Amino acid sequence: MNDWLHNLPVIGLVVVVFGITYLVAVAIYAAVIGLAIGERGRAFKSVSPGMLSPLGVLFALFLAFTASQVWNDNDRASIAVNQEASALRAVLVLAAAFPGEHEAALRALVRQHIEEAKSREWPMMAKGSATLSLASPALIDALQLALAISPGNQGQQTAQAEIVREIRTALTARRERILISHSQVGSVKWLCLFGQAVGLLLLVALVHCDNRLTAGIAIWIMATGMATCVLLIVAYDRPFVGQLAVGPEPLLEVMAAAATP
């Protein structure tokens, strides 16, 4: 799917997806009804209605597998962002064990990382151009700073170890969200899904070709159900793109906390 489609507002997605689906349905209906004359009509009517059930089940199964990938990717994206935010929040809490210069430096680096994530990484993830080669200088500096601290007591030693662990967790979560930003339903899957939908609509039209009203109602109901399912998949296909995308809000909350010790 093109970026322009994923970047449409929800109402725009509804118009495009339902519009295209209904246009295809109308074209199939018009073609079948127009050709269902004489011998062709008898041949069309001879198509067994029993084929609807297995073909519908196949379409539903393929749709379910595709949707499962989309929901899983969105769940993973949300979990990664929340884990990153949680780890950075823990760094801020633990930094209080080193009052003064070290605490201020860690807070500043956390803010810098979140600012870079919001202004640079999120737009790149939306475009699918973010890669693991994209470094996070602020988090790396924070990790190096934490390792360079000389703890003065057992409490600070424990806090230092926890800060290092949380920064590593944040780095891992960041890598995870960057990887997920490349995930989407492939063109081959979309092509197969479209082919199955067209075949199912065509079969409905053939089975009811002797009654225009029945055929129209059946195709409309089937097309509406298909469009609804496809709309959900398109809306969540790219976890970091569109009006329903996973945003940096959890990280921004941490940044606000980092500004007030």
Amino acid 198: pLDDT: 93
Amino acid 46: pLDDT: 82
Amino acid 81: pLDDT: 96
Amino acid 56: pLDDT: 87
Amino acid 258: pLDDT: 77
Amino acid 2: pLDDT: 66
Amino acid 91: pLDDT: 94
Tell the residue number behind the tokens 């737009």, with chain if given: 123
Q: What pTM, to 2 d.p., does this model score? A: 0.86
Amino acid 68: pLDDT: 92
Angle at 51 between CA 46 and CA 53, to 5 degrees: 140
Amino acid 119: pLDDT: 93
Separation CA 41–CA 38 (nearest Å)? 5
Contact 171, 141 (CB under 8 A): no
| Dihedral angle of Cα 192, 22, 61, 80, to the nearest 10 degrees | 80
Residue ranges of the chain with pLDDT lower than 70? 1-2, 260-261
Contact 223, 21 (CB under 8 A): yes
Burial of 162 from C-beta contacts in 10 A (0-12 / 13-18 / 19+): middle
R_g over Cα of the chain: 27
Contact 210, 41 (CB under 8 A): yes
pLDDT digits (tens, 9 = 90+) for 94-149: 999 998 899 999 999 999 999 999 999 999 999 888 888 888 899 999 999 999 98
Amino acid 260: pLDDT: 65
Neighbours of 197 (CB within 10 A): 22
How do the domains of the chain map onto residue ranges?
3-258
Amino acid 151: pLDDT: 86
Separation CA 144–CA 38 (nearest Å)? 82
